[in-house]
Amino acid sequence: MSRAILPGATVGVLGSGQLGRMFALAARRMGYRVHTFSPGDDTPMGQVADREAVGDYADLDAVAEFASRVDVVTFEFENVPFEAARTASEHVPVRPRGEVLHTAQHRQREKDFLHGAGFPTAPFEHVPDRATLGGALERLGTPAVLKTAGFGYDGKGQAVIHAPEQAEEAWQSIGAGEAVLEGFVEFEREISVVAARGCDGEFAHYGVTENRHRDHILDVSIPDPDIDPKITANAVEIARGVLEALDVVGVLCVEFFLTHDGELVVNELAPRPHNSGHFSFDACVTSQFEQQLRAVCALPLGDTRRLRPSAMVNLLGDLWDNGMPDWRAALADPSLKLHLYGKADARPGRKMGHMTAFGDDGEDAARRVIAAREALTRRP
């Protein structure tokens, strides 16, 4: 049995964005100290952490110094270089282990893992260079989606190819680097399962969440959508299998496409709390952030039960286009929960915060939370 890391200890986080911020809030509530390491300062997590270490992930001496001052290291951002996780692991446990990061931060490795372990994926081809794109397109046909192999998120670094003549334009648009070509999935909807695994293999999950995107960025998440319970059970079993196969200690999200025939296709993995699990902060007995803390500190996992039906919307920087959003108008709904991440610069498409609302059921909560977001920019 792993030794528990108890309240009073210090948890180090590689990365410093909103996921780290919400993790830090959960950890501090339980009496832990939290340190963050990233290249930025006055970051969303740094603002609420005990210590904000500023350094480059490639500066392994700085990573080692950071790790030597904490009791365990986790991450909130999967594009941390593997070497940083490996260096940290020479000092303290890193959870999830660096190999999970290594797999999930590169689409080809992730797809090879999923396919090799028997999990359902869209057909895919490795496209290491421009010369291989034509053959890959011939084998997969169109439409197909070309995605950069590394460092993509929120639909960045991807292009849909409808006909072979568009190959060159797509190749240039994703930055002309190593890529993966995927068959286009005609999905009925997108869903995800956020799940956690403890040091001793204990498993917990947050059920299925339906995710509606706008411009490739998550827009609305609704937990417990009205889908066939067999599909929910299947999605949870796939998530359990992924966490076990990768020997994850921590939280991991599996994103799926649900096809019109009720088939599940794994789109991608995120080895950390996920935007689609933010509802759990206010709507569950144990949030995904507390769950990550419990898992990485070798504590028993918490209860994921819902307190009330809920739905979440993201607040992107676009909402600031005509000045500060009208927070008072949204908060006129007394049960609405507002989360802002402390980012000073409201750029279009940037995730600035989110809101969660409650309702009689998920759709009712979604109506309320969307109405609250509309109220933010309604001018007299």
For the CB of residue 170, give the shortest distance to ligand AMP in the complex, in Å. 13
Tokens of residue 6, six digits: 């108890």
For the CB of residue 68, give the shortest distance to ligand AMP in the complex, in Å. 35
Tokens of residue 351, six digits: 């995730």
For the CB of residue 264, give the shortest distance to ligand AMP in the complex, in Å. 13
For the CB of residue 160, give the shortest distance to ligand AMP in the complex, in Å. 8
Nearer to ligand AMP, 219 or 364 (CB): 219
CB distance 256 to 122 below 8 Å: no
- What separation in angstroms does the CA of 127 have from each of 54, 118, 133, 144, 150? 35, 22, 6, 13, 12
For the CB of residue 48, give the shortest distance to ligand AMP in the complex, in Å. 28
For the CB of residue 143, give the shortest distance to ligand AMP in the complex, in Å. 8
Phi-psi domain of 340 (left: phi exceeds 0; alpha: psi -120 through 50; beta: other): beta
For the CB of residue 260, give the shortest distance to ligand AMP in the complex, in Å. 13
For the CB of residue 155, give the shortest distance to ligand AMP in the complex, in Å. 4
Nearer to ligand AMP, 84 or 174 (CB): 174
Nearer to ligand AMP, 169 or 321 (CB): 169
Residues that bind ligand AMP (CB under 6 A): 122, 145, 152, 155, 182, 184-185, 190, 213, 216, 267-268
Nearer to ligand AMP, 43 or 209 (CB): 209
- What separation in angstroms does the CA of 174 have from each of 41, 75, 112, 151, 271? 29, 26, 21, 11, 24
Length of the chain: 380
Start-end of H helices in 150-287? 167-173, 229-245, 280-283
C-alpha 323/C-alpha 208 separation (Å) is 36
C-alpha 210/C-alpha 59 separation (Å) is 39
Tokens 């001018």, residue located: 379
CB distance 336 to 296 below 8 Å: no
Nearer to ligand AMP, 186 or 360 (CB): 186
Nearer to ligand AMP, 156 or 306 (CB): 156
Nearer to ligand AMP, 174 or 376 (CB): 174
Phi and psi torsions of 57, nearest 5°: -60, -25
**Listed residue (310, 320, 326) closest to 367, CA to CA:** 310
The rounded Cα 291 to chain-centroid distance in angstroms is 14
C-alpha 142/C-alpha 284 separation (Å) is 42
For the CB of residue 100, give the shortest distance to ligand AMP in the complex, in Å. 18
CB distance 5 to 71 below 8 Å: yes
Q: At 187, which amino acid appears?
A: F
